Amino acid sequence: MRVLIVTDAWEPQVNGVVRTLQATIAELHAEGHEVGIVSPDLFRSIPCPTYAEIRLAFAGKRAVGRHIRAFAPQAIHISTEGPLGLAARRWCLDNGFPFTTAYHTRFPEYVAARLPISAARIWGFIRWFHRPAQNIMLATRSLARELADQGLGQTMMWERGVDHALFRPGRAAHPALAGLARPIQLYVGRVAVEKNIGAFLDTRHPGTKVVVGDGPALADLRARYPDAVFLGRLGGEALAAAYAGADVFVFPSRTDTFGLVVIEALSCGTPVAAYPVPGPGDIVTDGAGALDTDLDTAIAAALACDRAAAAALGARYGWPACTAQFLKALTFVPSDPVDRPYPAQNALRHSSSM
């Protein structure tokens, strides 16, 4: 199958959306599918206000449509609600081409955390954007219920996975954690206001609080919490070693739709403490972590959990199963690809070149 993914979130960003797309594309290639990507690096762009890592592309329906026709997809997946997603949506509707979307971020709450706009107003945009989609891909069942309450019932599961060769129990701890007062309480992710990291750093549990990640709130948090340890952005073996060396992984976000870092931590055998909200509330089970409206209480309970139980829960999540869900949502695809007026390589970067 020829699958075109349109996304406003792409490399060099490091976040759950990009990592999910990268892993899914790798699995699609392994199964013999062809994948094209329309992303901001194909167009002139500007930094997104308050989120400079995201580039907002200057591209309308006509420009995006040229890339669509060049690749001649059998299926189009619109991953984000940004400028490229909007342009691809308009092209698909104007040309009668069915498409899928994904709801990666609790966008109304995310915007409300940054701008003086109520979440209720943003929901109107979300309903408008996703309503024409054949299927809306979601990571959790609680999100499916949330969108159903908004009149968006055409949802299908697209969970998340873990690279179990990398994130596994029993590996050595990151050397930066050596000598720190126990228990080591770890946060991994973007360092930004919507992640609610201050709630974690305000907890009173003894030990050491460690933050892994980068973002616009980093300098402020360093200044406000001098006793915390900030390791910056880590990846690969170094990130896995940070998970493995922690006694508990703390996930303070209330706006994430899933939390890829949650299952990475679990896969390393690190119990999770979080609020009982969509995302961690769909993942964390008794014995592998703890959920509570009071984060101190959740941390204390998670520290008493069995690391083997955490690892067993993390082992349930794999990228092949997630990719099978992605493909299942595309079963409506047309039998013939869209007409191709000129060779795909003239206008669209093919993902095999990544």
Q: 244, 270, 272: which is closest to 256 by C-alpha?
A: 272
Same domain, 146 and 185: no
- Domain hosting residue 227, numbered range: 175-314
Residue 340 inside a domain? The answer is yes
pTM of the predicted model as reported, rounded to 2 decimal places: 0.85
Q: Give me the CATH number covering residue 133.
A: 3.40.50.2000
Question: Using the 8-state DSSP alphabet, how is residue 303 labeled?
Answer: H
Same domain, 108 and 33: yes
Residue 88 inside a domain? The answer is yes
- Name the band, by pLDDT with cuts 50, 70 and 90, for residue 344: very low
Cα→Cα distances 284→24, 77, 265, 316, 325, Å: 23, 29, 11, 12, 21
Query: Is the predicted pLDDT of residue 332 greater than 80, yes or no?
Result: no
Q: How far apart are CA 295 and CA 66, in angstroms?
A: 49
113-158: per-residue pLDDT in tens?
566 677 778 898 999 999 999 999 999 999 999 999 999 999 999 9
Q: What percent of the chain has pLDDT over 70?
A: 89
Mean pLDDT of 93-117: 78
Q: Are 272 and 302 in contact (CB under 8 A)?
A: yes
Query: Is the predicted pLDDT of residue 9 greater than 70, yes or no?
Result: yes
Q: How many domains does the chain have?
A: 2
Same domain, 12 and 139: yes
HSE value, Cβ hemisphere, 13 Å, CA-based, for 307: 15
- Name the band, by pLDDT with cuts 50, 70 and 90, for residue 256: confident
Same domain, 286 and 340: no
Residue 168 inside a domain? The answer is no
Same domain, 196 and 153: no
Counting other chains too, the contacts that 336-343 makes at CB distance below 8 Å and 24 or more residues apart are 336/74, 337/2, 337/72, 337/73, 337/74, 338/68, 338/69, 338/72, 338/73, 338/95, 338/97, 339/69, 339/72, 340/69, 340/70, 340/71, 340/72, 341/69, 341/70, 342/70, 343/70
Residue 7 inside a domain? The answer is yes
Same domain, 117 and 181: no
Residue 167 inside a domain? The answer is no
Q: What percent of the chain has pLDDT over 90?
A: 74
Tally helices (H) and strands (E) across the chain.
Answer: 14, 14
Mean pLDDT of 55-72: 91
287-322: per-residue pLDDT in tens?
999 999 999 999 999 999 999 999 999 999 999 999
Mean pLDDT of 332-338: 67
Same domain, 196 and 269: yes
Same domain, 256 and 292: yes
Question: Using the 8-state DSSP alphabet, how is residue 277 labeled?
Answer: S
Residue with tokens 């709630």: 199
Mean pLDDT of 99-104: 93
Structure confidence at residue 6 (pLDDT)? 97
Q: Are 284 and 290 in contact (CB under 8 A)?
A: yes
Structure confidence at residue 273 (pLDDT)? 98
Structure confidence at residue 342 (pLDDT)? 35
Residue 170 inside a domain? The answer is no
Same domain, 12 and 84: yes
Same domain, 228 and 304: yes
Query: Is the predicted pLDDT of residue 354 greater than 70, yes or no?
Result: no
Same domain, 293 and 179: yes
| Mean pLDDT estimate for the chain | 90
- Name the band, by pLDDT with cuts 50, 70 and 90, for residue 352: very low
Cα→Cα distances 61→46, 92, 95, 242, 344, Å: 18, 9, 11, 44, 18
Structure confidence at residue 318 (pLDDT)? 95
Structure confidence at residue 345 (pLDDT)? 37
Mean pLDDT of 247-272: 95
Strand stretches in the chain, DSSP E: 2-6, 34-38, 45-48, 51-57, 75-78, 100-102, 135-138, 155-157, 184-188, 208-212, 229-232, 248-251, 272-274, 289-291
12-46: per-residue pLDDT in tens?
887 888 999 999 999 999 999 999 999 998 998 88
Residue 66 inside a domain? The answer is yes
Same domain, 147 and 245: no
